[in-house]
Amino acid sequence: MRLRVLLIDDEPGALEGMQLWIDWEGLGYEVCGMCGNGAEGLQMIEQLQPDVVLTDINMPVMNGLEMIKRWQEQGERPVRFVILSGYSEFEYARKALRYNVTHYLLKPMDEEEAERELRSIYMELRQEAEQRRIRDAALWEQTLRVLQEAVVRPPVGMAEQQLLERLSSSRQEWQVCLVQTERSDYDWARELATERLSSQDGIYVLHMNAGQFVIVRGGSHASEQPGTDWHIINELAHEYADRPIQIARGGAVPSLSQLHHSYAEAREALRDTFYCPGAAGAIAYRRDGGAPILNQYDQTELINKLLSALMLLDTSAFHAAVEEAASLFRSQRVAPEIVKKVVIHLWYEMDDYVREHGPKEAELLLQEPEMPGAVESLLRLETCMERLLAWGEACIGLLLKEQKGKLQGTAQDINDYIKEHYREALTIKRLSEVFYLHPAYLGQLLIKKNGISFNELLHNLRIEEAEELLRIGKYTNSEVSELVGYTSYSQFLKQFEKRFHMSPNEYKNRN
């Protein structure tokens, strides 16, 4: 810490002596100027802004005490004054106490005494500067804390409201700029913003969470049109261009106490980038924008459709379901965080299914998923869908590998079971429970094996036996229906006539 000192005396020899005899540099000072009367002294204090003024009392034009009085009445910054006086001028020195001047030196000046006094002043000012630094730091931290709270909610305490109003009065308007980064880029992006913007008046960089920070900016002049000088934010966005960083800003508000409105609009603008792959720079919120973001979405049907395609090992159906999902998300403008949660849920469902039903080495073949954590990431819709599609294809590939060897054997086991139990209340759901297969997949498996559906196979077996029983002629038509597994005679009649184009009675009469 080096202090600036101004020397004032109407005797040139005295000025030269003070400059040469005292080790100013060794004491932590630098002489920034010299003059010969109080009037010049006032001008030089204003111009040079010294920390300490060493002044004589009796001088032409304006004496030292008058100069001190005027500065303390009109000056804009504190200055530590040191009075130079002889023994005969002690009354003047005592009068100076009224102006809070507590340091004086006797003339002729004693070098050692002067250095002790200057060293004492240096320590006082250094201590005051440290206390001021601590107070300023505490006030700055308080300001940032209050602003952080004001960004997300209206101020509730009187002290917070007063602080915000005091800060607000220096600017015509205030806006929030929301910066979203990947976690790995957060520290770098925030430090760069702080470095670039810290020298700008009316700008605050606020931490929000591990992936977001906020820039609060006030309009510079009362005559300035809203949003005309956001070039500094766009310049920052240009420096971010090589990183996956998104920036959005809300509308202007007249007071910092209304900052939460601008923040809400910035968040809404940031959500729009999820559906805008070409978005760049600082995206502005549009109050007359398109359809609102949908914050609720029933994902059951979509999840069932995608998982069904997976279980059926149908890559084409999976592709179609993903494309349909992307189109639906875009048309309904589903909230990005909901879309990401749906994709992550599907990711884990597919992962669990493959680990349970895929080959034994599935756990080694499945790579660590990229999607967990994506809720806070900058993934856009296209990227989410691309990753989901790639993951689905990988899972289907593993399942196909496992099912390829088992397909024929499993299908034959199911056929044997059906032939043994077709007289019972047999359903495809019952078969899926017996063979631990998804009903839809089991049905497709039987079609590939037999060329016909499960229901058609079941009816064929029952009607074939009914034909034999009718030939025997021992049972009534209703008894035959029950013996082959039908609980409804009308159903039996329908299936029999469908195959033989005649009723059971006509069949018996002909045979």
CA–CA gap between residue 136 and residue 377 (Å, rounded)? 36
The helix or strand, by DSSP H or E, that contains position 209, with its residue range, turns out to be strand 203-209
Domain definitions of the chain by residue range:
3-129, 153-284, 300-404, 407-510
CA–CA gap between residue 31 and residue 7 (Å, rounded)? 7
267 close to 178: Cβ distance less than 8 angstroms: yes
Task: Give the pLDDT confidence score for residue 363 in this predicted structure.
Answer: 59
CA–CA gap between residue 341 and residue 339 (Å, rounded)? 5
Kindly list the averaged pLDDT for each block of 10 residues, start to end, along the chain of length 511.
Answer: 94 90 93 95 95 91 91 88 74 65 81 90 92 88 90 87 88 89 86 85 86 85 49 80 82 91 87 68 55 75 87 88 90 86 86 79 55 61 87 85 67 90 92 86 87 93 92 90 92 92 88 72
Residue with tokens 């240096």: 122
115 close to 103: Cβ distance less than 8 angstroms: no
CA–CA gap between residue 39 and residue 48 (Å, rounded)? 14
Tell me the pLDDT tens digit for each residue of 160-205.
888 899 888 888 899 999 998 888 888 999 999 988 887 777 889 9
108 close to 16: Cβ distance less than 8 angstroms: no
Hey, what are 68's tokens?
């001190």
325 close to 302: Cβ distance less than 8 angstroms: yes
In the chain, what is the greatest distance between 2 CA atoms, to the nearest angstrom?
Answer: 154
Q: What is the mean pLDDT of the chain?
A: 84
Hey, what are 244's tokens?
């996956």
Report how far Cα 141 is from the mean position of its chain's Cα atoms: 22
What single DSSP character describes residue 358? S
How far is residue 266 from each of residues 206, 218, 285, 334, measured CA to CA in Å?
14, 15, 6, 17
Query: What length does the chain have?
Result: 511
**What is the C-alpha end-to-end distance of the chain, expressed in Å?**
121
May I ask the CATH class of domain 407-510?
Answer: mainly alpha
* CATH code of domain 153-284: 3.30.70.270
Q: 373: alpha, beta or left, given left = phi > 0 and alpha = psi -120 to 50?
A: left
Buried b (16+ CB within 10 A) or exposed e, 155-175: beeeebbebbeebbeebbbbb
Which of 184, 240, 238 lies closest to 211, judged by CA? 184
Task: Give the pLDDT confidence score for residue 222 in this predicted structure.
Answer: 44
Helix ranges (DSSP H) in 286-314: 300-311
Hey, what are 272's tokens?
């729009």
Q: Where are the beta strands (DSSP E) in 256-380?
A: 282-284
CATH of 3-129, one of 1.10.10.60, 3.40.50.1460, 3.30.70.1560, 3.40.50.2300: 3.40.50.2300
Residue 455 φ/ψ, nearest 5 degrees = -60, -40
Task: Give the pLDDT confidence score for residue 228 in this predicted structure.
Answer: 44
Q: 333: alpha, beta or left, given left = phi > 0 and alpha = psi -120 to 50?
A: left
SS (H, E, C) 91-122: HHHHHHHHHCCCEEEECCCCHHHHHHHHHHHH
Task: Give the pLDDT confidence score for residue 226 in this predicted structure.
Answer: 46
Residue with tokens 């809300």: 250
Report how far Cα 137 is from the mean position of its chain's Cα atoms: 27
Which of 83, 34, 40 lies closest to 58, judged by CA? 83
Hey, what are 369's tokens?
């998923």
Task: Give the pLDDT confidence score for residue 227 in this predicted structure.
Answer: 45
Identical fold, 3-129 and 407-510:
no
CA–CA gap between residue 154 and residue 343 (Å, rounded)? 34
| Concatenated DSSP letters of 11-28 | -HHHHHHHHHHS-HHHHT
SS (H, E, C) 30-88: EEEEEECCHHHHHHHHHHHCCCEEEEECCCCCCCHHHHHHHHHHHCCCCCEEEEEECHH
Task: Give the pLDDT confidence score for residue 333 in this predicted structure.
Answer: 84
The amino acid that residue 17 corresponds to is: G
What single DSSP character describes residue 293? P
283 close to 270: Cβ distance less than 8 angstroms: yes
